[in-house]
A = this chain, B = another copy of it.
């Protein structure tokens, strides 16, 4: 019952009017002219709408099946996956040396949003493969790269990441999976991994598992973890597929959502594995994959909000119920459409202002990633700082938006047939996997704030301050955008200051406010994006842009975000400044 139309116009606006990418001094960006990106986005959007989206609801209903040790995806998935592969979409931002198209990561992020909006469970098969590709690309030997990457770029072979075990999720130091060294330089991997997305399926000829395990005799805890390549089928020297490896699916999980993506228990029974990167430095190598995965999950949060918003909006325009209290808007009909009601507007504007702001933040971060790949250390640090904010904030809000879009449907929102429940159920996982959002907040406050001695975060504060100062004389921008941004940004800095002053004597004073801080940071991030977009659109209007309605809508949407969302920072600051005591007052047995 749902539909999806890729927001190509908004993406083009961000690429060219806001970021002005083709003028940027970033490798690969000079090719990104307006026509080229338009052609790519239109084509990808068609695939998303016409092929992936129609499989989303049926895929949720059918789910994956597990029979005779093998996983089958829902009807139509294999054909659609072949179509995505054949179109070259799986290698869009991969290395041309291995068959990729060599586009910047920025374009990959935009593509990811589209595919994920259309069918999140489906797009994960490709997304996880990309993560595994990146880890092998960064840490593999030349031979490993030559063996695996071309097939993974084309998704002839797909990838997974294996971290979690039944007794150890976030705390990977507790890991038990073993890797016994063999005479030929390979390892025998034994143990059980759980929650392995895309762990097995019928979409590809081989599955390349990246598995964290401990080599006996190595250091205790996370310092003794290594990363291994463990293919489902051993790859012969000529590249053909050999014997089945000692890895099998124990079961697939019944989940709240993403039913069409198989979440597997993987059993490793002396499976042959190949060390990826350095012994005992597996965490570092895995983080290549995990940081990419976290940004991918942030995009998933945004993607479900966008898809849910589109459908919520269509329903709000279509469903006739009640009358506009200020006067009938559809006097000849039995009632007015839902969209006339202020509380329905509130939900729609929350969603619209979130998705457009979040998309800007994602694309800005993606630019930083491309710069980091080109060796820009400041950009790399900034991405590192923003990663937990993007993952945590965009998925918290993404779920909230999906839930509110469901709310617009009233009772129909609760009925699976209408499709709105799926957006909320699918979005829910984004707050949990790749590090639960509480862990993201911890990472932000405990590690990222102190990055480069605090210079990275101070640099971002300065950037925002300079933007406000540089536009000081811009009266149109001032009250609606710059003033609220300034106030929110001050709150954020006051919170950081509180952590510095009070976290030293008791680190819990900082950790108690971690989630509130992450949320404030997200609001300031989106506020900064909105202020920039408003400036761009105001300038465009002054210069007589042909599409005035688009720019006016953009400005009004931003104004909403600033007026209705940014006041949250005051609340979060008050909570943070109440410190650890209210949280920690009770002994565990007093609960």
List A residues at the B interface (Cβ < 8 Å). 164, 167-171, 173-174, 194-195, 253-257, 263, 313, 317, 320-322, 325-326, 334-335, 337, 339-349, 352, 399, 403, 406-407, 410-411, 413-417, 421, 424-425, 428-429, 431-433, 436-438, 441-442, 506-508, 511-512, 514-515, 549, 552-553, 556-557, 559-560, 563-564, 567-568, 570-571, 574-575, 578, 580, 582-586, 588, 590-591
Provide the bound-state CA to CA distance between A425 and B414, in Å: 9
Residue of B nearest to A353 (CB): B582
Q: List 11 A-B contacts (CB under 8 A).
A: A170-B322, A171-B320, A257-B414, A325-B511, A326-B508, A349-B582, A349-B583, A399-B403, A564-B582, A567-B570, A570-B570
Residues in B with CB closer than 8 Å to A343 are: 438, 441-442, 511-512, 514-515
A562 to chain B: closest CB distance in Å?
8
Provide the bound-state CA to CA distance between A580 and B326, in Å: 12
Provide the bound-state CA to CA distance between A340 and B571, in Å: 25
CB < 8 Å: which of B410, B416, B508 contacts A436?
B410
A570 to chain B: closest CB distance in Å?
6
Residue of B nearest to A506 (CB): B326
A32 to chain B: closest CB distance in Å?
28
Q: Other than the known A253-B415, A342-B584, what 4 A-B pairs have Cβ atoms closer than 8 Å? A: A169-B411, A341-B438, A342-B514, A563-B575
Residue of B nearest to A515 (CB): B343
Residues in B with CB closer than 8 Å to A257 are: 414
Provide the bound-state CA to CA distance between A176 and B19, in Å: 54
Q: Are A170 and B416 in contact (CB under 8 A)?
A: no
Of A339, A399, A428, A441, chain B has the most CB atoms within 10 Å of the CB of A428
Q: Are B195 and A337 in contact (CB under 8 A)?
A: no
CB < 8 Å: which of B194, B428, B557, B586 contacts A553?
B586
Question: If A254-B417, A437-B407, A438-B407 touch, does A322 touch B171 (CB 8 Å cutoff)?
Answer: yes
Q: Are A432 and B410 in contact (CB under 8 A)?
A: yes
Q: Are B567 and A582 in contact (CB under 8 A)?
A: no
Residues in B with CB closer than 8 Å to A583 are: 342, 345-346, 349, 560, 564
CB < 8 Å: which of B171, B341, B575 contacts A335?
B171
Residue of B nearest to A573 (CB): B567
Provide the bound-state CA to CA distance between A414 and B413, in Å: 20
6 nearest CB pairs, A to B:
A567-B574, A343-B438, A256-B421, A556-B585, A342-B511, A563-B578
CB < 8 Å: which of B169, B325, B335, B591 contacts A348?
B591
Residues in B with CB closer than 8 Å to A339 are: 588, 591
Copy number in the complex reads 2
Q: Are B407 and A429 in contact (CB under 8 A)?
A: no
Question: If A352-B591, A411-B432, A508-B342 touch, does A575 touch B564 (CB 8 Å cutoff)?
Answer: yes
Residue of B nearest to A415 (CB): B253
Question: If A578-B563, A583-B342 touch, does A588 touch B431 (CB 8 Å cutoff)?
Answer: no
Provide the bound-state CA to CA distance between A414 and B256, in Å: 6
Q: Are A585 and B559 in contact (CB under 8 A)?
A: yes
Question: If A343-B515, A588-B339 touch, does A321 touch B431 (CB 8 Å cutoff)?
Answer: no
Residues in B with CB closer than 8 Å to A567 are: 570-571, 574-575
Provide the bound-state CA to CA distance between A515 and B570, in Å: 19
Provide the bound-state CA to CA distance between A582 and B557, in Å: 8
A19 to chain B: closest CB distance in Å?
24
Residues in B with CB closer than 8 Å to A173 are: 335
Question: If A346-B512, A591-B313 touch, does A432 touch B414 (CB 8 Å cutoff)?
Answer: yes
Q: Are B415 and A436 in contact (CB under 8 A)?
A: no
A522 to chain B: closest CB distance in Å?
15
CB < 8 Å: which of B164, B341, B407 contacts A511?
B341
Provide the bound-state CA to CA distance between A345 and B167, in Å: 21
Residues in B with CB closer than 8 Å to A399 are: 403
Residue of B nearest to A166 (CB): B412
Of A263, A441, A563, chain B has the most CB atoms within 10 Å of the CB of A563
Provide the bound-state CA to CA distance between A414 and B564, in Å: 31
A517 to chain B: closest CB distance in Å?
11
Question: If A168-B321, A506-B326, A571-B568 touch, does A580 touch B342 (CB 8 Å cutoff)?
Answer: yes
Residue of B nearest to A580 (CB): B342
